Amino acid sequence: MNVAVFVKYIAQGTAYTLGVTAVALPSGLVLGTLFALLAVYGGKVLRQIMTFYSTVMRGIPPIVLLLILYFVMSGQINLSPFWAGSISLGIISSAYQMEIIRGAILSVSSGQMMAARSIGLTRMQAITNVILPQTLRNAIAPWSNEAAIIIKDSSLVYALGVPEILRRAQLIGASSQSYLLAYLTAAIIYFLLVFTSSRLLGLLEKKLEIPANP
Amino acid sequence: MKKGLTLFVLVILLAGIVSACQPQAAAPQATTPPEPAAPASKLDAIKTAGKIKVGTSADYPPYESVDSAGAYVGFDIELMAAIAEGMGVQLEWVDMPFDSLIAAVQENKIDLSISCFNYSEERDQQVDFSEAYYTSEDAFVVGKDFAGTIAKPEDVVAYKVGVQSGTVQDDWLTTNLVDTGLLKAENLSRYERVDQAALDLQAGRVDVLMADYVPANALVKQFEGFNIVLKSVLSTGPLNIVLPEGDAVLKAEIDKQIAALQASGKITELAEKYFSE
């Protein structure tokens, strides 16, 4: 068996893994930030709706939502396996990211809002110019955790037949009977992806550190 | 262990809820053309596209697997290629875990599926089956340290048994041994894939593995010390292609192609190529 061909076959799945992550993570961030703002500043009703959303979405295993979106909802919306997988992971991730951002918003001292309002900023201006920039900086560290989880959870799209890293490792492992090599290759690729992304986010965190923070 | 099955059941239940919630009659719309009176056969769409989309779970050699270059190979693969050739259409493979295939046919994600499927009543309620293209047997495989005896299938109740989840073997064990109380539920381990079961058999976590005879025989050749102690027709039998429910035109065409390949000796030739011991 040609090991180079073998490893290459599994590594080709990286494109799908990165693709799913590239859709799920940013869409989860945008939705999560919006939901967090609504939960903190949106008033009682919106806060309750957002809490409900977050509780439900964090309570559903990603694979269940993925199967529902692909097989059950196919009469309503016909999604490709890739999009069904990416969107479900994005939805679930938005709930987790909402909690990350919500925590980061609450960690910004309430005096900041008062100070901003007292110098004449509107509430909206205070949120976008004072609160949110600090929030997002504070959120990078916990957020890198979520990024690692999404990279690894992207393997779930194999259930719909997307030939990503794990599914490729299974297929080549079955045909060659070299399971150890197949799964080890998959593990190393996932590790490298998570390691690289964590390091990059670590650098970003350093660069964007709030100077006044102790 | 039962995760795949549980999820499947959950999805089916949710499917029921969602479809029950759908509005019964849509208001007539001037902008969209009305639905044709008779449901169109999938065969027309396949012929128009010049392409047939076939699902398989390519982790079950020698029926279906991938080679190290990533090409699909195996008995079912070559057989389907011959069928597509007979129909005069291109063949597009879609790989999917076994548990997802029936749902994919039902939901029109693929045109049909060939993946070492056996007929079962439960499956027949959801999809249609082609005529049989091959008949298979069941085998019980043991590892090299196995000291007991298995003279008849029921003897396995004294041991820890492994099986691939969602297969007809799983169904047979569950219905005939677990549900009747002969085999303790905790002594039956269900694996998502047959090779995972084989690895656990090698590691001694299960004592005996029930699988289709042909892949079992392939495992015996690959794993040192593995032995087939019993071979018999229990759960399996004829292999069929899974087709969308109620599409008689497509079924007739596929059956015609299978009959032609049986008559020409092509199927026997493929069986010798892939299943010869």
Q: What is the pLDDT of residues B224-257, one digit of tens each?
A: 899 999 988 887 678 999 999 999 999 999 999 9
- Mutating which of B9, B12, B68, B219 best tests the A interface, going by the most A Cβ atoms within 10 A? B68
* Assigned domain for A213 exists: no
- Specify the pLDDT at position B217: 86
Mean pLDDT over each residue of chain B, to the nearest integer: 84
| Three-class DSSP category at B66 | strand
Interface contact flag, A163 B95, Cβ < 8 Å: yes
Interface contact flag, A159 B97, Cβ < 8 Å: yes
The predicted model gives B207-222 an average pLDDT of 88
Given a contact cutoff of 8 angstroms between Cβ atoms, the answer to whether B73 and B67 are in contact is yes
* Helix residue spans in chain B (DSSP H): 3-21, 42-49, 75-87, 98-106, 121-124, 168-173, 194-203, 213-222, 248-263, 266-275
A141-159 pLDDT, tens digit per residue, is 999 999 999 999 999 999 8
- State the nearest Cα–Cα gap between A180 and chain B, in angstroms: 11
Interface contact flag, B11 A68, Cβ < 8 Å: yes
Given a contact cutoff of 8 angstroms between Cβ atoms, the answer to whether B201 and B209 are in contact is yes
Residue A117, token pair as written in the block: 């309002």
Crossing angle of the two packed helices B75-87 and B248-263, in degrees rounded to 10: 110
> Is the pLDDT score of A92 beyond 60?
yes
Read off φ and ψ for residue B97, nearest 5 degrees.
-60, 145
Q: Model-level pTM?
A: 0.73
**Of A191, A192, A153, A186, which Cα lies nearest the Cα of A10?**
A186
Chain A and chain B share a number of CB contacts under 8 A equal to 91
Interface contact flag, A70 B109, Cβ < 8 Å: yes
- Specify the pLDDT at position B2: 45
Q: Which residues contact B30 (CB under 8 A, 6 or more apart)?
A: none
**Of A154, A46, A49, A140, which Cα lies nearest the Cα of A101?**
A140
> Is the pLDDT score of B143 beyond 60?
yes
Would B40-135+238-275 and B138-232 be classified into the same CATH topology?
yes
- Specify the pLDDT at position A188: 96
* Assigned domain for A214 exists: no
- Of A110 and B19, the structure prediction assigns the larger pLDDT to A110
B97-135 pLDDT, tens digit per residue, is 998 999 999 999 999 999 999 888 889 999 999 999 998
- Specify the pLDDT at position A78: 82
Domain interval for residue A60:
3-207
Percent of chain B having pLDDT more than 70?
85
* Residue B39 binned pLDDT confidence (cut-offs 50, 70, 90): low
Contacts of B274 in chain A (CB under 8 A): none
> Is the pLDDT score of A115 beyond 60?
yes
Q: Give the span between the Cα atoms of A98 and B233, in whole angstroms.
A: 55
> Is the pLDDT score of B45 beyond 60?
yes
Contacts of B218 in chain A (CB under 8 A): none
Q: Which residues contact B219 (CB under 8 A, 6 or more apart)?
A: B141, B194, B195, B198, B209, B211, B226
- Specify the pLDDT at position B28: 40
Q: Does domain B138-232 have CATH number 3.40.47.10?
A: no
Extents of the domains making up chain B: 40-135+238-275, 138-232
Q: Give the span between the Cα atoms of A82 and A154, in whole angstroms.
A: 10
- CATH number of the domain bearing residue A131: 1.10.3720.10
The predicted model gives A81-89 an average pLDDT of 94
Fold (CATH) for B40-135+238-275: D-Maltodextrin-Binding Protein; domain 2 (3.40.190)
> Is the pLDDT score of B21 beyond 80?
no
The predicted model gives B11-15 an average pLDDT of 48
- Of B10 and B190, the structure prediction assigns the larger pLDDT to B190
Interface contact flag, B7 A67, Cβ < 8 Å: yes
- Specify the pLDDT at position B13: 46
- State the nearest Cα–Cα gap between A167 and chain B, in angstroms: 9
Number of structural domains found in chain A = 1
The predicted model gives B67-81 an average pLDDT of 90
* Residue B35 binned pLDDT confidence (cut-offs 50, 70, 90): very low
